Structure formats: structure tokens, C-alpha cells
Amino acid sequence: MSILSKLKETIVCLKAGRVTLPYPAQPQPVPPKFRGRPIFDVAKCTGCGGCANNCPAREILVLDVCQEIRILKYLGRRCAYCGRCAELCPEKAITMSHEFENATNSIGDIGQKLELFMSTCQRCGRCFKEPSPLEQLKMKGYRFDDLQNERWIFRSQSYLENEPVADDIKIEMV
């Protein structure tokens, strides 16, 4: 009886054939709607910070170095590949690629760092933006995210306790 069942099992196995995928030797295609690593397009990005404010993992950091340059750093380490940043980017600068082979030996390899040029108001010298649906994304004033320790700091007040908070410049009307 047991020999017969073994023979039956052999026939079942032979019928199934070979199912093992030759993966590391040959590339394995992914489904078309698969969301892999987000790719940032620096030419399209306007630096609105919508992705940074709406990332559920809070891993897109913004640092305003000076008036004209804003650094946008994507860490990639705790990214859940939810595609929220790509969905709400007004300029469609973020695309979810099909890259999933991101294994590294140093975690810094996954990150992307954008250095964005912000145009300034010629009267007050501050960066400006037109009133748009982006107003709902709550990016007001400057942000001072901690790039060294990879910390996400939402309010500049919480970071600079004793320092004056960077606020809107008051234009003196004489």
C-alpha cells in the first residue's frame, strides 16, 4: 500500500514538471502595476515639499540651506513603497519604478539627495509660490530637518528652542 502511494506521489510530481524559476541567472519580470523604488526627477521638481509632508514613514527630509537652495533627501530605508508621494506630486516628478533588487551592505546606498534651486521674490528676497492647491499641503516657512541624524522635524520651533523661529520677513514700509 505504501509503495503504491509513493508511486502515485511520483506520478503527481512528474505531471507537475519543473516549477523552479531560474531566478538569479535570468531576470524575473514583475507585474505591470508593481511599485518599486521611487525615482525622483530633479528637472521637474519644484521643491514644494508635499511629498515630505505627506510621507507616512516621514523619510523625505527637507533642509533649507539658504534662500535659493533647498535640499530634499530621500532616505529609502523605511520606505513602504506606498506610492503616496508619486500620487500627490503636482509635477509628477516622482515615479514608482520596477526596481526591487535593492539589497545592499550599506543602507546609505538607497538614498537620493536632490539639491533644488528656489527662485526668490525680488522685493523681499524670500522664496515664493503661487496660491494653488498646494496650500493644502501645509508647507509654511522654513524647515530644519536633521540630515546628520536622519531625523524628521516637522515644526522648526521644536528644533530651535532658544533661537528665534524663522518667520516671515516683515517688509518695512517707510
Site of interaction with other proteins (CB under 8 A): 19-21, 23-24, 28, 30, 40, 42-43, 45, 56-59, 68, 75-82, 99-117, 119-120, 122
Q: Which is nearer to other proteins, 14 or 21 (CB)?
A: 21
Q: Which is nearer to other proteins, 24 or 133 (CB)?
A: 24
Q: Are 108 and 150 in contact (CB under 8 A)?
A: no
Q: Which is nearer to other proteins, 111 or 141 (CB)?
A: 111
Q: Which is nearer to other proteins, 23 or 164 (CB)?
A: 23
- Nearest to 46, CA basis, from 7, 90, 109: 90
* Grid cell in block for residue 72: 530634499
Min dist. Cβ of residue 13 to other proteins (A):
10
Residues near 141 by Cβ (< 8 Å), separated by ≥ 6?
Answer: 156, 165, 166, 167, 168
d(CA 89, CA 107): 25
d(CA 135, CA 80): 26
Min dist. Cβ of residue 78 to other proteins (A):
3
Min dist. Cβ of residue 139 to other proteins (A):
18
Min dist. Cβ of residue 45 to other proteins (A):
7
Q: Which is nearer to other proteins, 3 or 173 (CB)?
A: 173
d(CA 97, CA 22): 23
Min dist. Cβ of residue 157 to other proteins (A):
18
Name residue, grid cell 514608482.
Answer: 96
